[in-house]
A and B are shown apart, each in its own frame.
Chain A
Amino acid sequence: MKRVNDQHLAQLHGLDHAYMDTLITYLRRDWGKDPQAIESVIQDLLEGALTASQSGVSAKGYFGADPQVAADAILAELPRRTAAQWRQLLWPLANFYLAFAFLEGLLRQPMRWTLGDLRLLVIPFVMVATTWFFRGISFNRLNQRTKRRVLVGMVLFLAIPLVDGFVGEVITFPSLPANALLGVIALMLVWDLAAWRKRRDAAWWVGVWGVLAATVVISQWSVANGLLVLIAAVNIGLWLAALLVTQVADVAV
């Protein structure tokens, strides 16, 4: 639905396009609301803006001079994001940062993992929160609410890495034994395998966790062999990605 809405947005030009684009971005950045309901609203508004445009009415003339107030009134009527939709938003980010944290541990000399590595999981939440706080800055007129929100966002944006750095310096996190690490990896594998039925990209994460598990197991006997497995897997992954890109390019031509 999002892709179709973007295609319809492309039918508007100039100031009308800029006006609707700002409005749509503002609506989509409200992470707390049901994204499907938001796309349904965007579909309605684009349909109205296109009809108005054909009658010679601008997007501003159609929707109003104060789009942020109207958008807030619309968002207030929409249902909240469900737990499943939150999982859908945070799942790829959690996978990425957790895999990155474990990879970082593999490359340490000597190789070790700590509970502190899990601090990287805070990053996706900071990313989601930051974009929420900064939404609305594209509007020509910034209202008081937006100014306050941006201010809070800036404070958080600066404070969270500082607090994180401070925690990293002050607290000595206990090391994570390889068995516990394998347990977390197995948990992620099971989670991604369960998601595979609904999301195709879960297959990629199953591959990443599988390679990480093999690397950790083999590294117990020989760090060099473990890293060899990892490098081989990365090379095969890159080769497969290149093959896929070439095939897609051939189909497009």
Chain B
Amino acid sequence: MAKIPSQLLKGTLEGALLLIIARGETYGYAVQTTLAELGFGTVPEGTIYPLLLKMQKQGLIAAERHASKTGPDRKYYHLTAAGQTAIASFVPRWQQLAQAMARLVEAKDETSQ
């Protein structure tokens, strides 16, 4: 699978993170592996972590520390009510963008045939 350029990911990654956290309480490294499993490619923690901090500051997600077997206490993120509102606003916008892009790609394919 080709690597998605970070510039292309920039605007959508925050929405993707919110949707992953909305599935249930999760932690940093698990978010990173989930993104890879979903096909976003390897998104480094250096890209994900500042966004998680920003969303915490905005009150979209909240975090709690629990003991971890691997070493330091692990921070688990969960969605807040403001985060749910942000998802409700992000999803229709993303669908509109995806449909518009799909129509463009479809039109290009028809022209080239």
Binding site for B on A (CB under 8 A): 4-5, 8, 11, 41, 43-48, 50-52, 54, 61-67, 69-71, 73-74, 76-78
> What residues make up the interface of B, taking CB atoms closer than 8 Å to A?
27-29, 32, 42, 44-47, 49-50, 53-54, 57, 68, 70-75
- B45 near A8 with CB under 8 A, answer no
Measured CB to CB, the closest approach of chain A to B26, in angstroms, equals: 12
Whole-angstrom distance from the CB of B67 to the nearest CB of chain A? 11
* A54 CB contacts on chain B under 8 angstroms: 70
| Contact in complex: A70, B72 (CB < 8 Å) | no
A48 x B29 contact (CB < 8 A): yes
- Pairs across A and B, CB under 8 Å, 18 listed: A41-B53, A43-B72, A43-B73, A46-B71, A46-B72, A47-B29, A47-B68, A47-B72, A47-B74, A47-B75, A50-B70, A50-B72, A51-B29, A51-B70, A63-B44, A64-B44, A64-B47, A70-B47
In Å, the complex CA distance between A48 and B90 comes to 28
Q: Which residues of A contact B54 (CB under 8 A)?
A: 77
Chain B residues in 8 Å Cβ range of A62: 29, 32, 44-45
The 3 closest A-B pairs by CB, nearest first: A70-B46, A64-B44, A64-B46
- Distance in angstroms from A44 CB to nearest chain B CB is 5
Distance in angstroms between the alpha carbons of A62 and B49 in the assembled complex: 11
Partner of B53, one of A4, A63, A74: A74
Distance (Å) between the CB of A122 and the closest chain B CB? 35
Nearest neighbor of A47 in chain B, beta-carbon distance: B72
Establish whether residues B75 and A44, one from each chain, have CB atoms under 8 Å apart when the complex forms: yes
Chain B residues contacting A47 (CB-CB under 8 Å) are: 27-29, 68, 70-75
- Inter-chain CA distance A44–B71, complex, in Å, is 10
